[in-house]
């Protein structure tokens, strides 16, 4: 697989990474077996993936433990990104309401992540969500100190807005922003993408396949389990999905011409947007990971991209992307 550099930082990774959240958190209502997920992560590495994304909040803690065990045979050959920032007791893993980015909480979270991942340094450490009660300069300064201590390699933000990014970057250069970005959610194109270009910050899109919707495997007849987070998300309500199928149809037309899958076109579109974009689609199936990686070999020419952009100009995602309470926790 080709490699990409996140912004101007000395942080080079596989062009497509792997989001590990669904391997333990059960957000899609499915049960996973630890041994199978360890084999999956190792299989992804063998296929060329060397950028893995996790967080203390996934579980909590379980996802980091899983990833730490899985990467043992090749730890020095991969890059690991994890996150702090939710109100989680570092000792018990019990999660309280809201967020917590107080310096002492960040330091405790990092110590826990280092231990669970079995590493001496976290390659990329994100603030998972902006904490309105703690100045971002204080957060960035704390991470800067952790970088100076050799416990963290690079600083990242997740779902942060323009001013937050600017203020954080002035204290400690931000290597990457992780935000939702895909063919059906393009809100960051107006102000965020130009800012990242200006400051030399890379972008790591999560949900690059629209939580599975852009693969074409979901429609208005799909019944989600109560434990599947999509059952609570407005854009996955039947009427919204019926309207949003226009995005899938656009992908399908291009995919047929290119001899690719819808998922591959959705990922190839992201890769074509900027050379410093590294999507992290998640999966619990190795054949899906191989399919996603195949997007790196799909060449979208100017005519293809123009056709997609013309089609997108006529479309607008129906339904809010998150429940209202969750949307309020983002800076977008």
Q: Which of 45, 58, 126, 181 is catalytic?
A: 58
Report d(CA 86, CA 83) in Å as an integer: 9
Q: Is 58 a catalytic residue?
A: yes
Q: In Å, what is the CA distance from 286 to each residue of 6, 41, 85, 138, 169? A: 25, 9, 30, 41, 37
Phi–psi pair at 64, nearest 5 degrees: -65, -40
Please spell the DSSP secondary structure of 174-185, one letter per residue. Answer: EEEEEEE-BTTB
Do 53 and 83 meet the contact criterion of CB atoms below 8 Å apart? Answer: no
Report d(CA 263, CA 211) in Å as an integer: 11
- Comparing CA positions, the residue from 159, 101, 157 lying closest to residue 125 is 157
Q: Which residues are designated catalytic?
A: 58
């Amino acid at each position: 697989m080709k490699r990409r550099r996140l912004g101007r930082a000395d942080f080079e990774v596989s062009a497509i990474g792997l989001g590990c959240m669904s391997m333990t958190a059960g957000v899609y209502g499915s049960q996973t077996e630890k041994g199978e997920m360890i084999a999956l992560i190792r299989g992804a590495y063998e296929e060329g993936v060397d950028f893995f994304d996790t967080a203390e909040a996934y579980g909590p803690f379980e996802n980091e433990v899983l990833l730490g065990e899985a990467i043992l045979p090749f730890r020095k050959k991969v890059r690991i990104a994890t996150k702090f920032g939710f109100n989680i007791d570092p000792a018990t893993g019990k999660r309280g309401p809201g967020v917590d980015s107080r310096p002492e909480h960040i330091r405790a979270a990092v110590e826990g992540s280092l231990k669970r991942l079995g590493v001496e340094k976290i390659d990329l450490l994100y603030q998972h969500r902006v904490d309105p009660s703690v100045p971002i300069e204080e957060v960035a300064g704390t991470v800067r100190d952790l970088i100076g201590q050799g416990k963290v390699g690079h600083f990242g933000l997740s779902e942060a807005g323009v001013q937050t990014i600017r203020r954080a970057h002035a204290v400690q250069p931000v290597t990457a922003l992780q935000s939702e970005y895909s063919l059906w959610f393009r809100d960051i194109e107006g102000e965020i993408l130009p800012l990242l270009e200006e400051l030399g910050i890379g972008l790591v899109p999560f949900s690059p396949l629209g939580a599975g919707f852009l693969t074409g495997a979901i429609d208005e007849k799909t019944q989600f389990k109560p434990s599947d987070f999509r059952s609570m998300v407005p854009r996955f309500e039947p009427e919204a999905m019926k309207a949003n199928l226009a995005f899938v149809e656009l992908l399908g037309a291009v995919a047929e011409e290119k001899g690719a899958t819808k998922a591959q076109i959705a990922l190839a579109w992201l890769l074509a947007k900027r050379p410093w974009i590294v999507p992290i689609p998640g999966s619990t199936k190795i054949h899906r990971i191989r399919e996603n990686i195949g997007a790196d070999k799909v060449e979208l020419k100017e005519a293809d991209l123009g056709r997609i952009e013309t089609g997108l100009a006529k479309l607008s995602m129906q339904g809010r992307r998150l429940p209202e309470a969750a949307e309020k926790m983002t800076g977008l």
